[in-house]
Structure 1
Amino acid sequence: MRAQDVMTSPVVTARPDQPVKEVAALLAEHGFTSAPVVDDDGRVVGMVTEADVLRDRIPVDARTRIWGDEVPEVHPAQTVAEVMSTPAVAITPGTDAAAIVRMMLDDHVRAVPVVDGRGVVGIVTRRDLLRAIATDDATVLTAVRSRLSAYGGGDRWSVTVYDGVVEIVDDFDDATDRHVAQVIAESVPGVAEVRVRSRESVL
């Protein structure tokens, strides 16, 4: 499974000179946790997140001051360039989803923009990956059978799916085809593991 299989597209982007308040409205409207920041040429130059937008944007309630607490004076940033995270880390449509998960966990990021020669073509979020994991077994089974049918015919493979684990039995007992079937099945969103066996090993 690769970035192009799970990414959200098209993606909402922000500009460095865009007002923070405007970007806050965009994130709230679309339910996003972050957005790539692009320059005039469409290149990713940073990421702006919910946390970036929230920083210093909500003043202390005046009623709090009654108790004499010292309230620090803050001046909220006005543009995205002042709050965005840099440098920007981007991936390509062909990036392995497993590598994306490792990046998110190791670097504590929630979203990664997907770029190609045309600029930003999508974004992969933790929610996108969770959605893939949560794909029900019936949907996974249909997708695996469809892709295998296109490769070796509809009656070539026996396929079952349980809790994201795909079991494939090769009726023709061909090692090369079993390897191809493994690769095909692993590319289907929602697949957690693939086990391919020959018909003889089952009997």
Structure 2
Amino acid sequence: MRTRDVMTTDVVVVGPKTAARDAARLLAEHGFTALPVVDDSGELVGIVSETELLRDRLPQDPRSLVHGEPVEARKAPADLVSQVMRTPATVTPNTDLAEVADLMLERGVRSVPVVYEGHLAGIVTRRDLLRSISRADWIIEAEIRHRLAIVGDAHRWTVEVSDGRVSIVDKMDNDTDRHVAEVLARAVAGVTDVRVAAPERI
């Protein structure tokens, strides 16, 4: 599967001149962990996350002063997104989801912007990846059968799915079509493995 198969294209974004408080409010309201930052032309220029927006934002509780606890010196919080945004790792709509998962785990991030020709095309999150691997087998099977209909009559193919593992038998025993069937099946969300075989000869 590719990023384009699971990414969200209707993305909530902010600009470099957006107030940091407004960006924090958007994160809280939507339950996001990060927001892409784009310029006026739609080009991705950064990303801002909970971590950056929380830094130096919460003042020390004044009740601590009553007990004589020292006041910790803090920097003034950033006013604008441009002051706290960072350069993100990005992927393209054609990036393999296995690579996306590895990138997220390696960088310790929960979402990755999807960029096409420099412009933001979408965003993919850990939740998107989890959703793709947790689909019911019967839904996966139905989608595979629908896709295989373009490679011949639906009754030509025997399809079984168990825990995301797909078994396909081609009654017509055509090498080229079996390869096409495997490619089509592997592109279905939730598929973890594909085996395509010719019918057993008695």
TM bracket (short chain): over 0.9
**Taking structure 1 as reference, are residues 77 and 118 closer, same or farther at Cα in structure 2, changes over 3 Å only?**
closer
Give 1:117 deviation, angstroms: 4.1
Tell me if the contact between 1:173 and 1:200 (Cα under 8 Å) persists in the aligned partners: no
Q: Show structure 1 runs of 4+ deviating over 6 A.
A: none
Letter in 1 for 2:79: Q
Residue identity (%): 49
Alpha-carbon separation, structure 1, partners of 2:62 and 2:148: 65
Question: What is residue 47 of structure 2 aligned with on the other side?
Answer: 47
Superposed counterparts of 1:55-134, under 5 Å = 55-74=55-74, 75-86=76-87, 88-117=88-117, 119-134=119-134
SS across alignment from 1:155:
helix
Question: What is residue 161 of structure 1 aligned with on the other side?
Answer: 161
What runs of 5+ residues in structure 1 fail to find an aligned partner?
none
> How many residue pairs were aligned?
201
Alpha-carbon separation, structure 2, partners of 1:91 and 1:62: 45
Question: What is residue 195 of structure 1 aligned with on the other side?
Answer: 195
Letter in 2 for 1:136: A
Alpha-carbon separation, structure 2, partners of 1:53 and 1:124: 21
Question: What is residue 13 of structure 1 aligned with on the other side?
Answer: 13
Tell me if the contact between 1:140 and 1:190 (Cα under 8 Å) persists in the aligned partners: yes
What runs of 5+ residues in structure 2 fail to find an aligned partner?
none
Alpha-carbon separation, structure 2, partners of 1:65 and 1:189: 55
Question: What is residue 36 of structure 2 aligned with on the other side?
Answer: 36
Note the aligned Cα RMSD (angstroms): 1.6
| TM-score, reference length from structure 1 | 0.93
Tell me if the contact between 2:44 and 2:118 (Cα under 8 Å) persists in the aligned partners: no
Alpha-carbon separation, structure 2, partners of 1:106 and 1:47: 17
What whole-Å deviation, never above 9, does each CA across 1:90-134 have from its counterpart, x for those lacking one?
Answer: 222111111111111122221111122482121001111111111
SS across alignment from 2:78:
coil
Give 1:200 deviation, angstroms: 1.7
Question: What is residue 147 of structure 1 aligned with on the other side?
Answer: 147
Question: What is residue 137 of structure 1 aligned with on the other side?
Answer: 137
